[in-house]
Amino acid sequence: MVSRFFRISAVESTGASAASYVPAVFVSRALAFLRLLVVAGILGSVGQAEFGLYQPGLELINWMVPLVMLGLADVAERYASKFEREGLLGGLLRRHWGRLLLTGGAAVLTFAAAAPWACHAVWGPPTRAISQVHEFLMLGACGVTVVLLALYQHVAATLRGLRAYAAAAGMEIFAAILLLVLSAIAAWMGNAVYLLAAYAVSLIGPLLVYGGLLHRHARSNQPLPRQMPELPHLSKFAKWTLIRLLLTMTFGLIAMVCVRWLAQNDAAISQNSSLPQQQTAEYAMPYRVAQLLAFVGVTLWSSAYGVAAGAWNDRRLRRARAQMLRVGKFGAALLVAIALVVLLGRGILEWMLPVYADKIELLLPPLLGVFLWYSLLGFLATFGDLQERPWCGAAIWATAVIVQLAMLLAHAFWAAGMSAGWVATYASAAGAAAGLVVAVILLWRPLKMDAATVPLALLALSPLGLFAPAWVVTYVGAATLVAGVIIPQIMGLLLRRRDRLKWSKWRRRHR
């Protein structure tokens, strides 16, 4: 049973890919959620400032990784099966890993050269609460993590592109277990530098094991030609996906950093130098809980993308679209159900983490709405990539970032004095909503939506109730989330007869 997580074997249907990948990765996401609670619980109120320094560091890492990867992971996930079929997989891996090491080294040197500016931008000026040496050490840990995470994501994307979803899931679980153990030790030591270093160390084991498996699999592929032919559209595809990934990570980085930036004025008035880190920590806790929806969404879309891309490469275009849209509507319904459970059960989180109870009560519901929309934006960008239109994803996320920045600037000029977390949340919500509107315009004709896309539209509207006033959000938010699932089901558009037949056939085949 366990050995299947260490074998590179392809699956051929979205049902088989979901059965191989989704349950195991859900376990890794549960471990990530447990890690969040363990780290916050161990640090407590005494280490709250360190938790507030750790979170912007994570966002910096997430922003830098796409810049180092230059879109190579998306190319590998989209075309790995095609390269394997043509006997070019070994050459693809050698070229991509060489580029990643080169750009990763350049990123580390850039971190070192721009250390004072980068530290000031991410963590603010040195104070009694955070020294310049402490900031430099955190930046160094971020640089090493960026290189290792870029290699890790490329290996994982290649495994998914080869439709080896069991191996990809095993890699996720292995890394999640290591990160949980190492993060608990680092939190006990009470230092953000150790927390960031734990992230880097947890990637080494999975990289060695699964990178080695992938290398041996590539060597067993067909003989390589002398020169690796360049597919003419790959460089263009990589450039657009790089832009899209940078914009996606910028969306999260802006939300996290702007809380610290807005809190600095309050710190200057109160002469409390640790206040920005504390407010960042208070915002980061509900943010990370809600962000789990995005992780689940990415898992669901990834479970079907490799299979659908293989069908598209074989010119079975209608089948490829149907596979992705089916996963999209069921995945969105599952995310809405998870959001409902978290909304109704947030009192448990408040009891477990009393230091963050007020912010969880106030900010978690709207942040759940933000990340439901964020997940749908990720699906729509993936749907554009499937159709070899990566510029659509870039346009969607560019709209989201521009609107988010515009809302923050409007606050700075005309509505100063509001809670920093509240401003970041609603600016992000406005950006995500604008991105959805642009996605509909680019990918569909609104007046010609079919039975596969109408449920997606209704599910996209369901988070609106999560932005209700705090005293009624539980009732209004829960009602709209339930309605978002029930209405398309009553209309016969969510679980259709053909979906039930496909599910029955798949269960009989895998008994």
- Indicate if 10 and 98 belong to the same structural domain: yes
Closest by CA position to 273, among listed 262, 261, 264, 283: 264
470 by Cβ neighbours in 10 Å (0-12 / 13-18 / 19+) ranks as exposed
Examine the domain organization and report whether 94 and 205 are in the same domain.
yes
Q: Identify the pLDDT of residue 12.
A: 61
Q: What six digits make up the tokens of 196?
A: 């960031």
pLDDT digits 0-9 by tens, 252-283: 888 888 887 777 665 544 445 456 778 888 89
Under a CB-based contact definition with an 8 Å cutoff, are residues 123 and 260 in contact?
yes
- Are 349 and 34 within 8 A, CB to CB? no
Q: What is the pLDDT of residue 428?
A: 93
Shared-domain flag, residues 149 and 295: no
The amino acid at 44: G
What's the pLDDT at 121? 75
Q: Say if residue 144 is in the same domain as residue 290.
A: no
Residues 402 and 474 in one domain: yes
Residue 20: domain span: 1-231
Q: Give me the phi and psi of 118, to 5 degrees please.
A: -65, -40
Same domain, 59 and 205: yes
Query: Is the model's pLDDT at 59 over the cut of 70?
Result: yes
Residue at 390 is within a domain = yes
- Tell me the pLDDT band of 447, cut-offs 50, 70 and 90: very low
287 and 225 together in one domain: no
Residues 317 and 426 in one domain: yes
Amino acid of residue 508: R
Q: Can you give the pLDDT at residue 318? A: 81
Q: Count of CB atoms within 10 A of residue 406's CB?
A: 14
- The Cα–Cα gap between 358 and 90 comes to 53
Of the residues 216, 231, 246, the one at which a domain ends: 231
| Structure tokens that stand for 161 in this block | 């592109």
Instruction: Please give the tally of structural domains in the chain.
Output: 2
Please, which pLDDT band fits residue 38 given cuts at 50, 70 and 90?
very high
Q: Please write the tens of the pLDDT for every residue from 204-238.
A: 999 999 988 888 888 776 554 444 444 434 567 77
DSSP-derived secondary structure letter, 3: G
In-domain check, residue 74: yes
Cα distance between residue 150 and residue 101, in whole Å:
9
Co-location of 319 and 399 in the same domain:
yes
Residues 76 and 206 in one domain: yes
State how far the Cα of 336 lies from the Cα of 342, in Å rounded to an integer: 10
For residue 502, what pLDDT is reported?
Answer: 60
Looking at the fold, whether 57 and 204 belong to one and the same domain comes out as yes
DSSP class of residue 354 equals G
In a domain, 277, yes or no: no
What pLDDT, on a 0 to 100 scale, did the predictor assign at position 136? 84
Residue 258 lies in a domain: no
Q: In the predicted model, what is the mean pLDDT of residues 306-333? A: 80
Percent of the chain beyond pLDDT 90? 26
pLDDT for the residue 363:
93
Q: Of 231, 249, 270, which one is at a domain's C-terminal end?
A: 231
Structure tokens at 485: 């699932």
CA distance 53 to 138: 9
For residue 505, what pLDDT is reported? 57
DSSP assignment of 74-127 equals HHHHHHHHHHHHTT-HHHHHHHHHHHHHHHHHHHHHHHHHTHHHHHHHHH-S--
| Predicted pLDDT of residue 268 | 47
Write down the mean pLDDT value for the chain: 82
State residue 16's pLDDT score.
Answer: 62
For residue 336, is it within any domain? yes
Residue 264 domain flag: no
* Residue type present at position 102: L
Q: In the Cβ-directed half-sphere of 144, how many Cα atoms lie within 13 Å?
A: 17
In a domain, 276, yes or no: no
Report yes or no on 178 lying in a domain.
yes
Answer yes or no: do 118 and 221 share one domain. Answer: yes
- With contact defined as beta carbons under 8 Å apart, do 162 and 216 qualify? no
* Pair of tokens at residue 204: 């080494």
163, 197, 231: which is the final residue of a domain?
Answer: 231
Percent of residues, the chain, with pLDDT higher than 70: 85
